[in-house]
Amino acid sequence: MASLKDIKTRIGSTKKTKQITKAMEMVSAAKLNRAQQKATAFIPYTDKIREVVESIAAGSEGVSHPMLEEREEVKKTGYIVITSDRGLCGAYNSGLLRETHRLIEERHSSPDEYGLIVLGRVGLEYFKKRNMPVFQELTAVPDQPEYNDVKNLASASVQMFADGMFDEIYIHYNHFVSAISQKVTEQQLLPLTNMSDKEEGEPKVVQEYIYEPNADEILKGLLPHYAESLIFGALLDSKASEFGARMSAMRSATDNADDLIGELTLSYNRARQAAITQEINEIVGGALAQN
Q: What is the DSSP string of 116-150?
A: EEEESHHHHHHHHHTT--EEEEE----SS--HHHH
With respect to residue 273, please indicate whether it lies within any of the assigned structural domains: no
- Which range marks the domain in which residue 64 is found? 24-198+205-248
With respect to residue 282, please indicate whether it lies within any of the assigned structural domains: no
With respect to residue 287, please indicate whether it lies within any of the assigned structural domains: no
Rounded Cα distance, 241 and 56, in Å:
34
With respect to residue 69, please indicate whether it lies within any of the assigned structural domains: yes
Residue 31 belongs to a domain with what CATH number?
3.40.1380.10
Total domains in the chain come to 1
Rounded Cα distance, 56 and 72, in Å:
24
With respect to residue 164, please indicate whether it lies within any of the assigned structural domains: yes
Tens of each residue's pLDDT in the chain, 291 residues: 578 888 899 999 999 999 999 999 999 999 999 999 999 999 999 888 888 887 777 666 656 778 888 888 999 999 999 999 998 999 999 999 999 999 999 999 999 999 999 999 999 999 999 999 999 999 999 999 999 999 999 999 999 999 999 999 999 999 999 988 999 999 999 998 766 555 555 555 556 667 677 777 888 888 888 999 999 999 999 999 999 999 999 999 999 999 999 999 998 898 888 888 887 887 877 777 776
Catalytic, out of 89, 231, 236, 240: 89
| Amino acid at residue number 33 | N
CB atoms within 10 A of CB 187: 16
Rounded Cα distance, 201 and 23, in Å:
50
With respect to residue 167, please indicate whether it lies within any of the assigned structural domains: yes
- Concerning whether 89 is annotated as a catalytic residue, the answer is yes
pLDDT score recorded for residue 195: 60
